[in-house]
Amino acid sequence: MRTQVGIIGAGPAGLLLSHLLHLEGIESVVIEQRSRATVESTIRAGVLEQGTVDILCEAGVGERLRREGVVHHGFEIRFNGERHRVPLSELTGGPAITLYAQHEVLKDLIAARTAAANGQICFEAKGSRVFAPETARPGIEFQTTAGSQRLECDFIAGCDGYHGVSRAAIPATSCREFHRDYPYAWFGLLTATPRVAEELIYCHHEHGFALVSTRSPGIQRLYFQCSPNTRIEDWSDDRVWDELHSRLAIDGGAAPAIGPILQRDVVGLRSFVCEPMQYGRLYLAGDAAHIVPPTGAKGMNLAIADVRILARALTEFYRSGDQRWLDAYSSDCLRRVWRAQRFSAWMTALLHRPDPFDAFQARLQHAEFNALKASVEAARVLAQNYVGWSWEQ
């Protein structure tokens, strides 16, 4: 097999990159170890910055997003019994966020790629391996039901996540990794219950963090802070609902209705960056290159920003042979990545109960919350970071 760009991973980064290249007449093949059904049904958060919405719509895959996505112009913070709304659009002069689940984005992208004449996605490709990324003839080897496959290409885009094979193909001497593992996790719930509120609710409580996020009028995504060693089987439905109601309880504040729990999981929190995000003709994007804690809702938005930059760089190369954009790919991406890391770490520290408990840190958290209430400028900094930055920043 031969193509121009080999892409490992059919997540938002890999699929959007393939589609953007297609719009420029550049061929690609996407290699994905999971089945199409699994990719399209894996529930993930979907808080989209305006820039993400814009690029999906400009690429022609935003029809359902525009119709079904829910625009939020603010969110609520509950802090030790107090409520405070952050009016995002008012503070930023317009930009808001849109809630549209990640698996819905994937459905739209897969539909667009499979409808294209050259939209080749190899699902259920096992044992992928990158070869010769430092040469002018790199490629990907993998297994399908038809047997061993070898894809030769001009460039490889590693969009296969933190545990994928792409980053592992970079010699340890050619990159540096930055890690932070947080001492707490999120207990996540998908529930068949009515909408709790019109906007997201972030909660700081003496027991720990909680989050309420609507997926649809009848489906809610709920989280609460827990230990990374938490066992799901130790939490009965009654215990889960009691804990959520305890953390979210506040006079005049909505609380989740009790109902069926469709899914539960424990999500660890980490920060991670790989520098540089390229090696030879291998370019990393999304979670393969960086991970942020989900508190700031930056994960998918950073992945989309990466592939926007990479698609532009590849387009310039194929149009004119100019490799300067490709050479600058990592540095262009990392400016935004570290900005998002800073914000995500700050918001995580603000809203989570320190573990082990630190009375001094708890007082600092309260002072930070009071500053957000008292200072329009402090609230504006939070709002601008949350809704995202322009592509030029």
The number of CA neighbours under 13 Å toward the Cβ of 336 is 25
Q: Decide: 78 and 42 in contact? Cβ < 8 Å.
A: no
pLDDT in tens, 248-291: 988 777 788 899 999 999 999 999 999 999 999 999 999 999 99
pLDDT in tens, 77-87: 999 889 999 99
In a domain, 384, yes or no: no
Exactly one of 19, 204, 298, 352 is catalytic; name it. 298
Identify whether 283 is a catalytic site residue.
no
Q: What is the mean pLDDT of residues 145-162?
A: 94
Q: What is the mean pLDDT of residues 39-45?
A: 81
**pLDDT of 55:** 96
pLDDT in tens, 326-337: 999 999 999 999
In a domain, 84, yes or no: no
Identify whether 279 is a catalytic site residue.
no
pLDDT in tens, 165-185: 999 999 999 999 999 999 999
The number of CA neighbours under 13 Å toward the Cβ of 356 is 0
Identify whether 386 is a catalytic site residue.
yes
Q: Whole-number mean pLDDT of the chain?
A: 93
% of residues, the chain, pLDDT over 70: 99
Find tokens 């508190």 and name the residue.
295
In a domain, 34, yes or no: yes
In a domain, 382, yes or no: no
Exactly one of 202, 223, 283, 329 is catalytic; name it. 202
pLDDT at 393 over 70: no
- Give the pLDDT band of residue 215 (cuts 50, 70, 90): confident
In Å, what is the CA distance from 146 to each residue of 124, 149, 217? 11, 8, 43
pLDDT at 392 over 90: no
pLDDT at 190 over 80: yes
- Give the pLDDT band of residue 219 (cuts 50, 70, 90): confident
**pLDDT of 391:** 66
Exactly one of 95, 205, 294, 352 is catalytic; name it. 294
**Which range among 2-11, 47-56, 219-228, 253-262 shows the weakest confidence by mean pLDDT?**
253-262
Angle in degrees, 0-180, between the axes of helices 359-374 and 376-387, rounded to the nearest 10: 100
Q: What is the mean pLDDT of residues 178-205?
A: 93
In a domain, 89, yes or no: no
- The amino acid present at 47, given as its one-letter code, is V
pLDDT at 204 over 60: yes
CATH code, 158: 3.50.50.60
Query: What is the reported pTM?
Result: 0.94
**Which range among 19-23, 53-57, 352-356 shows the weakest confidence by mean pLDDT?**
352-356
Identify whether 293 is a catalytic site residue.
no
Q: Which domain holds residue 344?
A: 5-72+94-178+270-352
In a domain, 225, yes or no: no
Exactly one of 182, 283, 329, 386 is catalytic; name it. 386
pLDDT at 305 over 70: yes
Nearest CA among 142, 86, 144 for reference residue 372: 86
What is the rounded (10 degree) CA torsion for 274, 279, 285, 291?
-10
Contacts of residue 131, defined as CB under 8 A and 6 or more positions apart, other chains included, come to 138, 139, 140, 141
In a domain, 199, yes or no: no
- Residue 40 CA to residue 66 CA, distance in Å, equals 19
Q: How many domains does the chain have?
A: 1
In a domain, 245, yes or no: no
Identify whether 294 is a catalytic site residue.
yes
Q: What is the mean pLDDT of residues 334-360?
A: 95
**pLDDT of 343:** 97
Exactly one of 72, 73, 205, 352 is catalytic; name it. 72
Q: What is the mean pLDDT of residues 28-48?
A: 89
